Amino acid sequence: METEATLEAGEWVLNGEKYWIGNGVSGDYITVYAKTEDTDDRHGNHSLILVPTDAPGYEAEPIPEKMAYRASEQAHIVFDDCRVPAENLVGERGNGFKMVAEFFNAGRVRVAAHGIGLAAAAIEEAWDFVHEREEFGRDVADFQSVQHDLAEMRMEFESARALLWQAVDHVQRGEDAERWAAMAKAKATEVAAECAEASIKLHGGRALLNDERITRVYRDVRMPMTYEGVGAVQRDLIYRNF
């Protein structure tokens, strides 16, 4: 994290770059995480600053077409002596890391919910397809191996959803929030990927067609596994809060 902000004559002066910033081109404001303190304490040397996107020295360009999440805009942003008023500081100076860390608990629960939605879509597509297609004079759904695949998908989906509801409860009450949010995020997003993979296999060659819903689901499950921390990060948090 290299973007810096210095306080000069009642203004924050920002310099640096940011990647993968949602709505960085079309949004009116963004919240910037920047280094503001001259200290080696990585938990106390960053702050959050609200930056209007029409501020002088703010330049943003869309990141080129992505494999997935095509409806979501991400931007590459450059700050070149970008100046905003000192009162645009969000919260306390130097407290940015703690604020972001608290946000992650709620954010990871939302990502887990996203994973649950993608898993449900994968199951719906698999169910509909195998009940509408015939092979060897039988409905594809009549084959035991297909039934077992669907049963496995449903079991994993329900276990992930139950874990999500527990995580929501713990985050709302502020009890063991980090551990439960990490467990829900890792489980739900990985289950989404597993369900999408299983559904793709059941679709056979039709899964190669871009206009199939399962094809989009298969692409889109990659991102929730990545943002708000990959699975290895979630497992670090789970162990640390064991």
Burial of 151 per CB tally in 10 Å (0-12, 13-18, 19+): exposed
pLDDT of amino acid 164? 97
pLDDT confidence band for 114 (50 / 70 / 90) = very high
pLDDT of amino acid 49? 97
Phi and psi at 91, nearest 5°, equal 70, -150
Tell me the percentage of the chain whose pLDDT exceeds 90.
74
Which residue stretches of the chain are H helix?
A: 96-132, 144-173, 177-203, 213-220, 231-240
pTM: 0.85
Task: Please give the C-alpha separations between residue 100 and each of 92, 93, 110, 178, in angstroms, as whole numbers.
Answer: 12, 13, 15, 12
Tokens read off for 194: 């597993």
Q: Which residues have C-beta within 8 Å of that of residue 120, sequence separation ≥ 6?
A: 157
Q: Which residues have C-beta within 8 Å of that of residue 135, sequence separation ≥ 6?
A: none
Top pLDDT among 147 and 207 is at: 147
> Is residue 241 within a helix (H) or strand (E), and if so which, with residue range?
none
Q: Which residues have C-beta within 8 Å of that of residue 176, sequence separation ≥ 6?
A: 170, 241
Q: Nearest Cα to 90, choosing from 6, 31, 131?
A: 31
pLDDT of amino acid 211? 83
Q: Under CATH, to which class is 4-90 assigned?
A: mainly beta
Q: Which residue is catalytic, options 156, 178, 194, 228? A: 228
Q: Where are the domains of the chain?
A: 4-90, 96-240
The lowest-confidence range among 35-44, 124-133, 145-154, 189-198 is 35-44
pLDDT in tens, 61-89: 999 888 888 888 899 999 999 999 999 99
CATH 1.20.140.10 is held by the domain 96-240:
yes
Q: Are strands 138-139 and 134-135 parallel, antiparallel or unpaired?
A: antiparallel
Report how far residue 68's alpha carbon sits from residue 143's, in angstroms, rounded to the nearest whole number: 32
Q: Nearest Cα to 78, choosing from 53, 50, 42?
A: 53
pLDDT in tens, 161-205: 999 999 999 999 989 899 999 999 999 999 999 999 999 999 988
pLDDT confidence band for 128 (50 / 70 / 90) = very high
Residue type, 132: E
Q: Nearest Cα to 60, choosing from 104, 5, 6, 22?
A: 22
Tell me the percentage of the chain whose pLDDT exceeds 70.
100
228 is catalytic: yes
Say if residues 46 and 73 touch (Cβ distance below 8 Å).
no
Mean pLDDT rounded to a whole number for the chain: 92
Residue 43 scores a pLDDT above 90: no
Residue 42 scores a pLDDT above 80: no
- Quick one: DSSP state of residue 176? S
